[in-house]
Amino acid sequence: MTLLVVGSIAFDSVETPFGKADEALGGSALYFSYAASYFTPVRLVGVVGEDFPMKSLDEFRARGVDTSGVEVSKGKTFRWKGKYEGEMNVAQTLDTQLNVFGDFKPKIPAAFQNTPFVFLANGAPVTQMSVLEQVKSPRFIVADTMNLWMRIAKPALLTLLRRVDGLILNDEEARELSGERNLIRAGRAILGLGPKIVILKKGEHGAFLFSEFFQFALPAYPTDDVKDPTGAGDSFAGGFMGWLAATGKVTLASLKRAMAYGTICASVNVEDFSFAAMRRTSREQLERRMDEFIQFIQF
């Protein structure tokens, strides 16, 4: 089944102990789309400035991403500049220029409005909500969020949480949203805010999935070659939602396998800057890594 993603398209300038990238292609919606398109057709909605080379979306279209929802707006494309040090668990933001993304009012093309699987990448909760007002009876909606919205838009975020099926967030965000230090309590508390599933990402420590009826945990894929963590969370979400949409089913079994595909996509993505590592990884190679991962965690 098809999968709609609404989120940012950006130029990222990133420095890590292993190198740097200057104004490289990035943004949550693009990382998500790249990963999800290993599995299923993706419909992308985002905004870029007049400075954006539309040709750079060719490789996405070649992977089955429908980019007709990418709007060109007067002004410059969103830019983010950051740095990772030491164990690279946390990005230090050096500069954020929202530019056209600051006024992003997503318009979901008519042809996209009946997409069954929907991912709302990180953004203002009101913006995420505006997407839900434009889609027609989606089967499964998952949202990402971040600390900022818990601080400046809590009521809107809480409203959104009552409308989505799933929420993806990282451990610190889960602690902040729930007020619980223990991650298991945090995950369960967030279920109480509305979503049927909560996915808690822990970077190199893997991820948890909470639902009313079961919990599930996965370690990260054991990569010893992390060059740039930018986009790890979004490629995780892309693999997760991409697999669910491909199967067309949201069941205990499909959710578990989707978590594993999310883990694998993230593990590939962090091995190089921007899209370089995913670009050189075929679906076949992804499956081989999945087989290895299953050996790594099953008994």
Residues that bind a copy of itself (CB under 8 A): 86-87, 181-185, 188, 202, 204-206, 208, 214-219, 222-224, 226, 253, 256-257, 259-260, 295-299
Of the two residues 18 and 71, which places its CB atom closer to a copy of itself in the complex? 18
* Smallest distance, a copy of itself to C-beta of residue 204, A: 7
Distances (CA, A) of 169 to 209, 221, 228: 11, 19, 19
* Smallest distance, a copy of itself to C-beta of residue 186, A: 9
Of the two residues 69 and 203, which places its CB atom closer to a copy of itself in the complex? 203
Of the two residues 59 and 204, which places its CB atom closer to a copy of itself in the complex? 204
* Smallest distance, a copy of itself to C-beta of residue 133, A: 35
Of the two residues 6 and 258, which places its CB atom closer to a copy of itself in the complex? 258
User: What are the DSSP calls for 142-208, one per residue?
Assistant: EEE--HHHHHH-HHHHHHHHTT-SEEEEEHHHHHHHH--SSHHHHHHHHHTTS-SEEEEE-GGG-EE
Instruction: Say how many residues make up the chain.
Output: 299
Which of 94, 75, 70, 69 is closest to 12 using CA atoms?
94
Give the DSSP letter of residue 100.
G
* Smallest distance, a copy of itself to C-beta of residue 91, A: 16
Cα 87 to chain centroid, rounded: 21
Q: In the numeric block, which tokens belong to residue 232?
A: 């790890």
* Smallest distance, a copy of itself to C-beta of residue 222, A: 5
Q: How far is the C-alpha of 258 from the C-alpha of 253, rounded, in Å?
A: 9
Of the two residues 136 and 181, which places its CB atom closer to a copy of itself in the complex? 181
